[in-house]
Amino acid sequence: MVTPTCPKCKNAIAGEDINVAKDVAFCRVCNVSYQLSELTQGSELTADLDLHHPPPGAWCRSDGAGTLVGATHRSFGAALGMLAMALFWNGIVWCSCWSPFRERSTTFTSACPNGFRHRR
Ligand SMILES: [Zn+2]
């Protein structure tokens, strides 16, 4: 994790004084605002990373050219949940859209006025 520090007083800038979207970091001690990208430029991650045992959803691939690290938020459980939700919703749509047609079609074919016959 990278903690931006004020270049003037060397104090760490608190998280509530950082706005990543606006690229602003504000030092309350010096009362000066900086560009966050300038403060974090050139810094490296210092966390101990075990690339051979990535966390769930992440993967690491090494080849001769280098190491490629990626992650996905897909999961089998989420896919199963989406399938159940889609089947449930499509069941509602199917019943509400097609059952009135089905009832009407049986009404038209079974109840003919006197003197008329069904087509065969
Ligand atoms: Zn400062």
Q: What is the pLDDT of residues 20-35, one digit of tens each?
A: 999 999 999 999 999 9
Question: Domain range spanning residue 27?
Answer: 1-43
Pull the structure tokens for residue 38.
């300038």
Task: From 6, 67, 52, 51, select the one nearest 31 (Cα to Cα).
Answer: 6
Give distance in angstroms: CA of 3 to centre of ligand 1.
Answer: 13
* Distance of CA 27 from the midpoint of ligand 1 (Å): 5
80 occurs within a structural domain: yes
Residue 39, domain member (yes or no): yes
3-state secondary structure of 13: coil
Cα of 93 from ligand 1 centre, angstroms: 61
**Could you tell me what percent of the chain has a pLDDT over 90?**
38
Q: How many domains does the chain have?
A: 2
In a domain, 54, yes or no: no
Distance 48 CA to ligand 1 centre (A): 29
Structure tokens, 64? 């001769």
Note the Cα 106 to chain centre separation in Å. 46
37-59 pLDDT, tens digit per residue, is: 888 887 666 667 777 888 888 88
Instruction: Rounding to the nearest 10 degrees, give the CA dihedral for residues 85, 88, 90, 93.
Output: -130
Share of the chain above pLDDT 70, in %: 79
Distance 25 CA to ligand 1 centre (A): 10
CA–centroid distance, 45 to ligand 1, in Å, is 23
Statement: the pTM of the whole predicted model exceeds 0.85: no
Helix H or strand E encompassing 68: strand 66-71
Where helices occur in the chain by DSSP H, the ranges are 36-40, 76-110
User: Does residue 51 belong to any structural domain of this protein?
Assistant: no
Is 59 domain-assigned?
Answer: no
Confidence (pLDDT) at 84: 97
Please give the distance, rounded to the nearest whole angstrom, from the Cα atom of residue 37 to the centre of ligand 1: 16
Examine residue 55 and state whether it is found in any structural domain, yes or no: no
In a domain, 115, yes or no: no
Give domain status of residue 120, yes or no.
no
